[in-house]
Amino acid sequence: MVNMDIKSVRAFFRLTLMALFLPSSVALALVEIEVNATFTPATIVNGDSSLFRWSSQGNVSSCFVSGVPGLSGRQEAFGSISVSPASNLQASVNCIGSGPDGREVGFDAANLTVVDTAPVPTVNASFNPTSIFIGQSSTLSWSSTNASSCSANSGVSISGTSGSIVVTPSGTLTVTVTCSGAGGSASDSATVSVSTTFPPFVSASFLPSFVSPGGFSTLFWSSSNADFCNLGGPFGTRFFGPLFFSTFETVICFGPGGTGVATAFVSVVGFGAEESFATQELDQKSRAELGLTNMLAVSYLQHDFNDDGQLDQLIHVPERQQLLLRLSQLNGSLQLIKVVNEIDRLEQVRTILIQQDLHGIDTVQVIIER
């Protein structure tokens, strides 16, 4: 509504000037000039003061100010006055002058609101991040409205009605920010939690990290601030092989401060790395021994899986989606010791772990990529 009033007054003022002061021959040569009028602040409490300012641009000869106590009639092209009214004010400034393009006119208006009581301040305070480890930092941010000053406790020094500050507390810290203004004061608190227990730090690696097809590698892992890991204790080793495809292992360790993760990679490179499973058809004798006489496309891979100097067999039966592992015995025969189901192809095999206990019994683990 104020904008509409200002536009209406501006239009009325210009038309009045054209009709009363200018001959018809120059009435169309009016040039609008820039006029600015402001109250600072625009809202005050009854009894407080506000500064009214006006200014204009161009070759202005005079301005007419209305609606402001202490100002009436013709005024200079710019000026100011402090006012302390008991009610709202609506000021208008009309300026006239002359320039190379003809007569110049301009208008602006400003409003001052007077309230009986000042609005109560509002405050917002927060930490980011809200949880850190000892020795790390967090940022305290605060903002307010209707306030002229702010302060904080807990040994934190702030200035201004809004801002931020970085703190490095030695323990969990709660800061209360209090902001004050003409309408009173308000407070808000923020907390940053400081943990003295760090999460586990985990490192893991394969040695060697590059092997030939059928080669072996050892996974080494260690950790700090951890009680145990998914592969065993907070540190340890695990033997992998024979390896036919590049693979990886993820070590997850757990401790009072949370969890830590590390991943190690081992690459299978060299001749045969991509051809390791270009296997051959299983012979009829072996098929008969395993009850696979009528099965199609039964293939196998020969390798010394248990490192005893004799070739073993890893057999894939597509029709059954089975993987069969036969180990060579001292008498030269092959014994079936492991069957793995739901295997679509030999390439799913990542490694085969064979360990022998004190009684000479083999424990076999086949690691599959599902």
The domain that holds 132 is classified in CATH as 2.60.40.10
Instruction: Could you list the beta-strand ranges (E) of 100-257.
Output: 102-115, 122-128, 131-133, 138-145, 149-152, 163-167, 173-181, 184-195, 201-207, 210-211, 215-224, 228-229, 236-243, 247-255
274 assigned to some structural domain: no
Q: Are 112 and 44 in contact (CB under 8 A)?
A: yes
User: Rounded to an integer, what distance in angstroms lies between the CA atom of residue 242 and that of residue 185?
Assistant: 74
CB–CB of 35/55 below 8 Å? yes
| Half-sphere exposure for 265 (CA within 13 Å, toward CB) | 4
- The pLDDT, as a whole number, for residue 155 is 92
Running DSSP on this structure, what letter comes out for residue 232?
B
74 and 42, same structural domain?
yes
Residue 331 structural domain = 280-368
Spatial strand order of the sheet with 131-133 comes to 131-133, 184-195, 173-181, 149-152
Q: What is the pLDDT of residue 26?
A: 43
- Which of 115, 148, 176 represents a domain boundary (last residue)? 115
Q: Kindly state whether residues 213 and 154 are assigned to the same domain.
A: no
Model pLDDT, residue 147: 93
Residues 338, 184: Cα–Cα separation, whole Å: 81
- Same domain for 259 and 154: no
Q: Which of 139, 169, 195 is the last residue of a domain?
A: 195
* 16 lies in some domain: yes
Q: Are residues 126 and 109 in the same domain?
A: no
- What's residue 207's pLDDT? 93
How many CA atoms lie less than 13 Å away from 66 in the CB half-sphere?
8
Same domain, 135 and 185: yes
Q: Is residue 53 part of a domain?
A: yes
Last residue of a domain, one of 156, 176, 195: 195
Q: Could you report the average pLDDT of every consecutive run of 10 residues in the chain (370 residues)?
A: 47 49 49 90 90 90 92 89 94 87 85 89 96 93 95 94 95 96 93 91 94 86 94 90 82 93 87 49 86 84 78 87 88 87 79 66 71
| Cα(161)–Cα(147) distance, integer angstroms | 7
Residue 275 is assigned to a structural domain of this protein: no
Q: Looking at the whole model, is its pTM more than 0.85? A: no
Q: Which residues pair with 268 in a beta bridge?
A: 211
273 domain residue, yes or no = no
Count of domains forming the chain: 4
pLDDT at 216: 85
Q: Using CA atoms, how far apart are residues 329 and 310, in angstroms rounded to an integer?
A: 8
Same domain, 78 and 168: no
Shared domain check, 234 and 179: no
- The verdict on residue 213 lying in a domain is yes
Work out the number of other CB atoms within 10 angstroms of the CB of residue 40: 12
CA distance 245 to 256: 37
Say if strands 201-207 and 215-224 run parallel, antiparallel, or are unpaired. Answer: antiparallel
Same domain, 252 and 154: no
| CA-based end-to-end distance of the chain | 71
By C-alpha distance, which of 118, 92, 96 is closest to 2? 92
Q: What digits encode the pLDDT tens for the residues 215-242?
A: 888 999 999 999 999 999 999 998 887 7
Whether residue 36 is found in the same domain as residue 78: yes
